[in-house]
């Protein structure tokens, strides 16, 4: 069985490209073929994937995308100049996970609507960006609606990565056939200590305005909660960079991240838009509960007062962050977190996809 995954630019192994990478890796481990087709790939990532015997093919646009926002750039260019791939002769099954490439596929794996994300993210950006977005907002929305309709028409099945994600597409009149959550690797993300230090709270800075609300994080740090922050730091304001209760770690390896998750008292996930949410799930896989909002993707994995805490708004988030830091929680919570996360392990999710692939091949 040879399965081809079409992806967004492979300049990272996180985010929207991760399901394709994990599934391709699992296919190769089980003596099948896994191929990734992408408009751009970082050479170091390509070497890592080829070491896993995952073939990577680049179908360029004739130009590269800015390294800071490659997926957003590829998406915007794809809306204007549709990149349509022809038939892939040696593929038994084609899964399109890309937000910028159209191809006749067996499955389109839908992971979010970009203009919906921008609607949530842009209000947190500087005034100039907000003004520009207001001018182009509706033309972009119309272009994306047409593009997604073509993706739907080009695929036998349209599968969303979460119930929240499915609801966004259905509001646009797109038929969603089913939901399959993304996998995580629970053999990697697992508790690294039987006695977590619990002397800090972990949080993340990702895409500007999407992951890591600066005012909220500052308010929590001002309240005396020590925070460790991993991820991208270029846009962090100086008031955070110099804060005595905030330690910036930058980008970390997977092994370092596992230790950070495992030893945190809890993980703080302050986001503005999240169709699914890997960070809450990775944290719970390491036995650490999550404090986040009662909305969107994380609402489907974090159970309030059982695997973490769900709040309605920023003000409640700050209050809860301080309260949990001061009073802690029952240690059994960590065991419940791990037990829940295992249901999303790649071994479990892979079997769901394999049954789907075999159905297509048998037909």
Phi/psi for 151 (5° steps) reads -60, -45
CATH of the domain at 131: 3.40.50.2000
The reply to whether 175 and 214 lie within a common domain is no
Does 350 fall in a domain?
A: yes
Does 226 fall in a domain?
A: yes
The reply to whether 349 and 208 lie within a common domain is no
- Please tell me the least confidently modeled range out of 67-71, 311-315, 336-340: 67-71
Task: Indicate the pTM of the whole model.
Answer: 0.92
268 SS3 class: strand
The reply to whether 338 and 349 lie within a common domain is no
Does 188 fall in a domain?
A: no
The total number of structural domains in the chain stands at: 2
Average pLDDT, the chain: 92
pLDDT of 61 reads: 59
The reply to whether 252 and 157 lie within a common domain is no
The reply to whether 241 and 338 lie within a common domain is yes
pLDDT of 65 reads: 47
Residue 310 has pLDDT above 80, yes or no: yes
The reply to whether 354 and 300 lie within a common domain is no
The reply to whether 210 and 170 lie within a common domain is no
pLDDT for 61-101, tens place per residue? Answer: 554 544 556 777 777 777 777 667 777 878 999 999 999 99
Two tokens, residue 289: 């509960």
pLDDT for 39-54, tens place per residue? Answer: 999 999 999 999 999 9
Residue 25 has pLDDT above 80, yes or no: yes
Q: Rg (Cα) of the chain, in Å, rounded? A: 20
Average pLDDT of 212-239?
88
pLDDT of 76 reads: 77
Average pLDDT of 289-318?
96
Residue 168 has pLDDT above 90, yes or no: yes
The reply to whether 286 and 333 lie within a common domain is yes
The reply to whether 12 and 142 lie within a common domain is yes
- Strands, E assignment, the chain: 2-6, 33-38, 55-58, 83-85, 93-96, 101-103, 105-110, 155-160, 178-179, 201-205, 227-231, 246-250, 267-268, 290-293, 308-311
pLDDT of 188 reads: 97
Does 75 fall in a domain?
A: yes
- Please tell me the least confidently modeled range out of 7-16, 153-162, 253-262: 7-16
Does 94 fall in a domain?
A: yes
The reply to whether 14 and 158 lie within a common domain is yes
Burial class (CB in 10 A: 0-12, 13-18, 19+), 253: exposed
The reply to whether 241 and 283 lie within a common domain is yes
For a pLDDT cut of 70, what percent of the chain falls above it? 96
Q: Which 8-state DSSP code applies to residue 298? A: G
Q: What is the DSSP string of 313-346?
A: SHHHHHHHHHHHHHH---THHHHHHHHHHGGGBH
The reply to whether 171 and 255 lie within a common domain is no
Does 191 fall in a domain?
A: no
Average pLDDT of 316-337?
97
pLDDT for 109-156, tens place per residue? Answer: 999 999 999 999 888 888 888 899 899 999 999 999 999 999 999 999
Does 72 fall in a domain?
A: yes
Q: At a CB cut-off of 8 Å and minimum separation 6, what does 74 contact?
A: 8, 9, 39, 40, 61, 65, 99, 100
Q: How long a stretch of residues is the chain?
A: 363
Residue 162: name the closest of 96, 111, 120 by CA. Answer: 111
pLDDT of 281 reads: 97
Residue 78: name the closest of 8, 163, 153, 174 by CA. Answer: 8
Q: How many CB atoms lie within 10 A of CB 94?
A: 25
Does 7 fall in a domain?
A: yes
Residue 361: name the closest of 107, 43, 144 by CA. Answer: 107
Residue numbers of the domain that contains 222: 201-344
């Amino acid at each position: 069985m040879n399965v081809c995954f079409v992806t967004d630019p492979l300049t990272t192994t996180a985010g929207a490209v991760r399901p394709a990478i994990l599934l391709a890796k699992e296919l190769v481990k089980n003596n099948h073929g896994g191929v990734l087709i992408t408009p751009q790939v970082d050479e170091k990532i390509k070497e890592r994937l080829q070491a896993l015997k995952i073939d990577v093919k680049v179908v360029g646009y004739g130009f590269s995308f800015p390294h800071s926002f490659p997926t957003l750039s590829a998406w915007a260019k794809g809306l204007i100049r549709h990149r349509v791939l022809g038939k892939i002769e040696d593929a038994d099954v084609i899964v399109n996970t890309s937000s910028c490439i159209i191809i006749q596929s067996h499955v389109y794996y839908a992971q979010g609507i970009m203009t919906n994300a921008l609607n949530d993210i842009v209000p947190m950006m500087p005034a100039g960006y907000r003004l520009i977005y207001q001018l182009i907002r509706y033309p972009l929305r119309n272009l994306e609606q047409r593009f997604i309709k073509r993706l739907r028409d080009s695929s036998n099945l349209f599968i969303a990565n979460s119930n929240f994600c499915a609801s966004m597409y259905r509001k646009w009149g797109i038929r969603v056939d089913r939901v399959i959550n993304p996998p995580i690797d629970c053999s990697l993300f697992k508790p690294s200590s039987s006695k977590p230090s619990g002397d800090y709270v972990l949080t993340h800075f990702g895409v500007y305005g999407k992951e890591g609300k600066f005012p909220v994080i500052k308010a929590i740090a001002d309240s005396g909660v020590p925070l460790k922050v991993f991820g991208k730091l270029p846009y962090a304001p100086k008031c955070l960079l110099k804060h005595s209760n905030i330690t910036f770690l930058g980008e970390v390896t997977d092994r370092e991240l596992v230790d950070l998750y495992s030893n945190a008292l809890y993980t703080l996930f302050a986001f503005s838009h999240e169709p699914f949410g890997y960070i809450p799930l990775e944290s719970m896989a390491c036995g650490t509960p999550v404090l986040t909002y009662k909305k969107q993707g994380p609402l489907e994995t974090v159970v309030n007062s059982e695997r973490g805490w769900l709040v309605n708004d920023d003000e409640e988030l700050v209050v809860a962050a301080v309260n949990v830091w001061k009073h802690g929680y029952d240690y059994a919570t960590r065991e419940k977190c791990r037990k829940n996360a295992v249901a999303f392990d790649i071994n479990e999710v892979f079997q769901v996809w394999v049954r789907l692939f075999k159905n297509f091949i048998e037909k």
